[in-house]
Amino acid sequence: MSTPQDRVAFVTGGSRGIGRETVLALARAGHPVAFCYSADVDGATATRQAVEYLGGKAIAVCADVADAGAVDAAFGETESAFGPVTLLVNNAGITRDGLLVRMTDDNWGSVIDTNLTGAFHTIRRATPGMMKARFGRIVNVSSASAHIGQAGQANYAAAKAGLVGLTRSVARELARRSITCNVVAPGPIVTSMTDELTDDWRTHVESAVPLGRFGTAAECAAVIAFLCSEAAAYVTGAVVPVDGGLAMGH
């Protein structure tokens, strides 16, 4: 496990945004990268082609992380192509926003299943290989909303907060095997969704961020790649904000 080529990465939600930039950052570091996506075939193709343009190795696997069987199959395909996964990034997430009194059971459950239970599925599947290798890096992508809350996102904030408890339990459980588990908590990040915001709403959000701007997916990916690196070997159970100071003090 001494070279990047020996350390296989698996990234969930890799077809766009933070996931795509994370795939690219890990590929630049020399890792073979598998990533999964749920429906965005064109985005997944673009991510894979971007890695190949860099001279890296990547495969794209269609999988719903809320389905344990689909996760198992995706890891099996990755292991056949590259070997056991020792770098895992849980980035896949969905939103089903709505005020609490109008939120349906389905909208609550689907967000918890994907954003929280999905991470449990991938961590459980990856752990035996990491334990055997006596090396592993797990990074779970949470949100500033986990700490400060957000009106209309009770389901999303709850799932992202749950990732912190999951992460710290895993960090304690697996530390003796040289496996680290950490959280990255992004704030407002430029994505295709934020492109649809009105100017007034964008100004409102920016005014709440001490640095006065939205972050970029590449800035998040750089922190994730660091936590996957050898340099971060003594960092575990940490929550690292990438939010321009939005949630500082929480």
Catalytic residues: 156
Three-state SS annotation for 190-248: CCCCHHHCCHHHHHHHHHHCCCCCCECHHHHHHHHHHHCCHHHCCCCCCEEEECCCCCC
User: CB–CB of 142/161 below 8 Å?
Assistant: yes
Residue 246 · residue 188 · CB < 8 Å: yes
Cα angle 129-132-172, degrees, rounded to a multiple of 5: 85
Give the residue from 21, 15, 99 showing the smallest Cα distance to 65: 15
103-125 burial string, b = 16+ CB within 10 Å, else e? Answer: beeebbebbbbbbbbbbbbbbeb
